[in-house]
Structure 1
């Protein structure tokens, strides 16, 4: 039994429409996930930069997924990215903090910068990550402050 050409086209169009309707935009949060970054970060004398903020999330739907925090600082054309650990997804708001070394990025200094943070859902296949989806993000101009 064959499928007539117009029925095939209608099926393809229906599938495309369903995908458009049920796909969330890239910057949308899924299942009320959210993350924010404070308007300032700290640089220590021993060459580390720290960002902090808050997040909230619910458990990822597939059991083989984990939510992790990723942070980055961008300043004067230099970008440093670092992890902020695994998120505790119980629906409550939690504080997070992420610290990265400036050992290989000595150009980052006290002053204006841009902070980028993401709440990423990491899907696993066995022990290895299969894919990463950003479920919440925040980007804002911040001030890096020297801490002692």
Structure 2
């Protein structure tokens, strides 16, 4: 019987963890973010990712920012898409980054990750970073 109880307890814990796992397009505190299923490499040697976001009530000390990453063939390029307007409406975001130091990123399949983050400041320095929403998905890079 003890083995059966342990198996039942493990199954219950696994089910609880699965029930409380955030979906790919995570939403918290009335915030959401998404990334388009494609990215574009421009003739100028930059890559552009884009999507939409929504948030409310920006932090009074600090701000809200968007961070985007593209991962391909063990190479990761992370860039910022700037500050976010948190008025409860859906907004578009776009992030452009140079491939100068990451020339291994090329047209083809890749993975994109994007985060809507709250930055809290202590004086002029960042004190903490809190993810309000995130999205991760497979994308296609075109050239």
TM range (shorter): 0.7 to 0.9
Give the drift of 1:121. 0.3
For 1:37, the equivalent position in structure 2 comes to 35
User: Aligned partners of 1:93 and 1:57: how far apart in 2?
Assistant: 8
Per-residue CA deviations over 1:47-79 (Å, capped at 9, x if unaligned) read 10000000000023x410311000000000000
The 5 Å alignment of 1:56-67 reads: 56-60=54-58, 62-67=59-64
Return the TM-score normalized by structure 2.
0.81
Question: Using the alignment, how far apart are the partners of 2:62 and 2:21 within structure 1?
Answer: 20
Aligned residue runs from structure 1 range 38-57, under 5 A: 38-57=36-55
Asked if the contact 2:66/2:115 (under 8 Å) is kept, the reply is: yes
Verify the 8 A CA contact 2:27 2:33 in the aligned structure 1. Answer: no
Map of 1:5 onto structure 2: none
1:26 Cα deviation after fit: 7.8
Residue equivalent to 1:112: 109
- Using the size of structure 1 for normalisation, the TM-score is 0.78
What is the count of residue pairs matched by the alignment? 122
Equivalent position to 1:129, from 123, 126, 130 = 126
5+ unaligned residues in a row in structure 1: which ranges?
1-23
- Deviation of residue 29 (structure 1)? 3.3
Task: Indicate the structure with greater strand content.
Answer: 2
1:143 paired with 2:135, answer no
